[in-house]
Structure 1
Amino acid sequence: MTTSFAIALGSNRRTRHGSPQATLRAAIARLGRVVAVSEIIGSAPVGPSARRFANAVAIIESVEAPPDLLARLKRLERAFERRPGRRWGARSLDCDIVLWSGGAWCGPGLTIPHPFFRERRFVLDPLAQVAPDWRDPVSGHTVRQLRARAKRG
């Protein structure tokens, strides 16, 4: 059965693909069945990184179960020069599953909806461009409502 996923992508390091924005465009092209893509926005880093991030959200369709998609996204990150490192540090590519049309999911190493997406404007702003009426299965609020409640920054 095909389901939809909202994937948040971020980058704040140059790669062989070029700038962080070019890296996101190249990564999105490799996601598979992309049905919608937000604009790429700039955001301040969370944590110790000094470099600004480029962020976007893509809605994809997939027959994969959430853990299988997560494994594929981790392979994509490694293919884009992502290396294990300091939490919230500079990174070439970060891909997170934010929402899934199947509702909530909790398993080893993966929680959907993403535990912090409701407070992160760098996720909510692009997500609202492509899925404003998607409901958070935990709070029941739409992405548009969550964005209106989130602090700027």
Structure 2
Amino acid sequence: MILIGIGANLPGADGSAPLATCRAAAGALAALPGMRLAALSRWWESAPIPPLPGSPWYVNGVARLEGAMAPDALLAALHGIEDRFHRERPYVNAPRTLDLDLLAHGQTVRSGPGLILPHPRLQDRRFVLEPLLEVAPGWVHPLLGPAHALLEALPPQDLHPLPA
């Protein structure tokens, strides 16, 4: 099981809303060679973390993929999709047209250099764990334990599901 975080809070280059961009990115994930989109969470809206004055709210979701693409190749493919959606990285936590995070790749544990798996901050992010549990309700972080316990340990966040 491969879990991908999908997020956006800026309009696309064509002016499309972040939700439309996230939906299109899910389609791009489904089209990756050798991969299958097995599940897609609802879309969630959340305030930026850390709070940035004037920064728009995020649309977030999680996709569960099945396939045999190696982690580094998949990360490169995710970056390619971000590039197609004009992702820029002017500074850490900058607003973005699209953000694709490789959250988990099976039970792989990597501490770097480069790619870290599972994602090093997913246990701190309610906006990741809520949708993750929709597509992988029994998922267990290989180092920290069940995702539902990680979620229960988090403080509240200004977060809600968007209408279908």
Q: TM-score with structure 2 length normalisation? A: 0.86
SS in structure 1 at match of 2:10: coil
1:77-88 map, 5 Å: 77-88=82-93
Would the alpha carbon gap of residues 17 and 134 (structure 1) be closer, same or farther in structure 2, given more than 3 Å must change? farther
Q: CA deviation at 1:34?
A: 0.5
Which residue identity lines up with residue 149 of structure 2 in the other structure? Answer: Q
- Counterpart of 2:24? 26
- Counterpart of 1:7? 4
Structure 2 distance, partners of 1:133, 1:52, is: 28
- Counterpart of 1:37? 40
Which residue identity lines up with residue 11 of structure 2 in the other structure? Answer: R
Could you list the per-position Cα deviations for residues 64-108 of structure 1 after superposition, in whole angstroms to 9, with x for gaps in the alignment?
111110000001000011022111111000010111213312333
Indicate if the aligned counterparts of 1:35 and 1:61 stay in contact, CA closer than 8 A: yes
Structure 2 distance, partners of 1:44, 1:35, is: 28
Structure 2 distance, partners of 1:135, 1:57, is: 15
- Counterpart of 1:147? 151
Which residue identity lines up with residue 27 of structure 1 in the other structure? Answer: A
Which residue identity lines up with residue 41 of structure 1 in the other structure? Answer: W
Indicate if the aligned counterparts of 1:128 and 1:147 stay in contact, CA closer than 8 A: no
1:116-135 map, 5 Å: 116-135=121-140
The answer to whether residue 112 in structure 2 is matched with residue 107 in structure 1 is yes
Aligned residues with identical type, % of pairs: 36
- Counterpart of 2:74? 69
Q: What is the aligned length?
A: 149
Q: CA deviation at 1:17?
A: 6.8
Indicate if the aligned counterparts of 2:107 and 2:142 stay in contact, CA closer than 8 A: no
Shift >3 Å, 4+ stretches: none
Indicate if the aligned counterparts of 2:62 and 2:128 stay in contact, CA closer than 8 A: yes
